[in-house]
Amino acid sequence: MTTQRARQGATLTLLFGVLLISGAAVGGWGGAAPPLPRRAPSADAAPPEVSALSPQQAERLVASGADRWAAYYSADDYAEFTQGLDGEYLGVGLSVGRTQDGATLVSSVLADSPAGAAKVAVGDRLLAVDGAAVDHLPVTEVVARLRGRATAAAAGGRSAGPGSTVVLTVQRHGSPAREVTLRRTVLATQDVTLDHPAPGVLRITVRAFTSGVGEEVRAAVQAARQRGVVLDLRGNSGGLVEEAVTAASVFLDGGPVASYLSHGEQRELTAAPGGDTRTPLVVLVDGGTMSAAELLAGALQDRCRAVLVGTRTFGKGTVQQPSRLADGSVLELTVGRYFTPAGRTPDGTGLLPDVAAADPTEAGALALRVLSGLGPTPAAR
């Protein structure tokens, strides 16, 4: 698979769209800094310099590698991307993360999904996708292969659709490797799930920040008083920054969440007042925690509102802007970078947890041990 195709697939399927809005691209193309979006990204208004590009020119620009997160995709692919932000995606129902030694582990499985039906479980090691080894590959590329983006070039530019199959080689600890054939289907994202891993402890697992996720988190916290909350952002691929800011507002009483620098101008993202600042909070992170999820984790860490447990996050702290070309295809370019309240950017380095979990399968239990040692939290700074 080409680097360009992997990058394109990752952008589409992992919801890398942060601060995606219509209007002039910033930076290389000039224009004003973008406002925070309220809905899924639009790409209807492009500056003349961008709209005049041919698809071939756009693809060459992406392939040059000058912009790590640049992406070019067809009108149909972009429509699927925005659909994903509104709650659906094509896949097999599992998320993955990468350990420090390069292994790829399953971090979550949807119960009513092809992966769930095949008894793929959290903690299983993913060895190969369609016979190609995935150790040491970026999480983004692994998920692109799972969702059929890796075969787009061979299919005349069309992505794998519903009903297409993918063969996974998985291995459970202490057991031999096995192959499972899964059929891709359109799945509801189910981006927020709740459970109680210990008495009085609410675990909120957020897989991506699609529309409405922030209010789902708020409703879960307000539904009942808890002695502690575990916010599980492992394998969270990011999404809509507005939703991440809303989620931050659940645990903060106003104040900064992040800032972003675009075209030399700094803009602030702030939490709404009135959040729960006292219930002990632990945030689980791993190598699959990226983009808007890193923004949220960084804000809670910098403001001493939560203890981060797990492994280093992915390291994507940039802002992308889509622009529609004359033929309806879309070119997405990086237009800025965001920073945590303490002025850090996770871009390229990720965020380090406060408590490291050497074994990702034990991170959940470690989070509970950390939570048990926390008392009511003083008002966050």
> How many residues would you count in the chain?
381
**Within a domain: residue 101?**
yes
Position 141 scores a pLDDT of 76
Give 86's pLDDT tier (boundaries 50, 70, 90). Answer: low
Domain identity same for 207 and 296: yes
- CA pseudo-torsion sign 94, 98, 103, 107: negative
The 10s digit of each residue's pLDDT in 156-183 is 444 567 889 999 999 998 999 999 999 9
**Within a domain: residue 205?**
yes
Domain identity same for 209 and 357: yes
**Within a domain: residue 322?**
no
Position 280 scores a pLDDT of 96
Q: Which residue has the higher pLDDT, 22 or 36?
A: 36
- Domain encompassing residue 204: 192-317+336-372
Domain identity same for 359 and 249: yes
Position 40 scores a pLDDT of 33
Please check whether residue 177 is in contact with residue 37, taking contact to mean a CB–CB distance below 8 angstroms: no
> Average of pLDDT values for 28-45?
32
Domain edge (last residue) among 169, 188, 207? 188
The 10s digit of each residue's pLDDT in 177-225 is 999 999 999 887 678 999 999 999 999 999 889 889 999 999 999 987 8
**Within a domain: residue 133?**
yes
Quick check: 38 pLDDT over 60?
no
Domain edge (last residue) among 151, 171, 188? 188
**Within a domain: residue 329?**
no
Quick check: 21 pLDDT over 60?
no
Position 1 scores a pLDDT of 36
- Residue 90 backbone phi and psi in degrees, to 5: -95, 125
Please give the Cα distance from 296 to 285 (Å, whole number).
Answer: 11
Domain identity same for 223 and 347: yes
Domain identity same for 283 and 208: yes
Please give the Cα distance from 85 to 209 (Å, whole number).
Answer: 8
Q: Which residue has the higher pLDDT, 120 or 99?
A: 120
Position 205 scores a pLDDT of 95
- Residue 379 backbone phi and psi in degrees, to 5: -50, 130
Domain identity same for 354 and 250: yes
Position 7 scores a pLDDT of 38
- Residue 249 backbone phi and psi in degrees, to 5: -65, -20
CATH number at residue 258: 3.90.226.10
What secondary structure does DSSP assign to 24-60, as a single string? ---STT--PPPPPPSSS-------HHHHT--HHHHHH
